[in-house]
Amino acid sequence: MNHYANKKSAAESMLDVALLVANASQLKAVLDQGPNVSFYTPIITLIGLSLCLQVTVGVLLIFTVRWNLNDEQKHRRLNCMENLTTGLVFIIVAVNVFITALGVHQPNHNN
């Protein structure tokens, strides 16, 4: 059971890193375009929020992997952390939907 949970958390961590890199790329694209981009401030705010939430989820996943699932005294705390992680991942997905909806485009360098 503990081995399965560790693999699951490791896979979630890798997906979190992939999304973190995508958000960093989006942030760079918005900053390259400058403040004249429509929805500049909301996009920067949403990307920043998403990045902070992703780091929080990453830390929670690290703690989840490091704790022993065989210790029944920790089951309640681990369950709470798993639920919190799942909730934060849902919020991250929702925030990234709004980021995509507001439109982050790579600058066109065809000069």
Q: What is the mean pLDDT of residues 73-91?
A: 86
pLDDT higher than threshold 90 for residue 110: no
Q: Which residue has the higher pLDDT, 11 or 83?
A: 83
Give pLDDT, residue 9: 64
Between residues 23 and 13, the one the model is more confident about = 23
What confidence score (pLDDT) does residue 107 get?
Answer: 53
**Cα–Cα distance, 81 to 53 (Å, whole number):** 14
Residue 34: the pLDDT is 84
Neighbours of 58 (CB within 10 A): 15
Which two structure tokens, joined as six digits, stand for 62? 């690290």
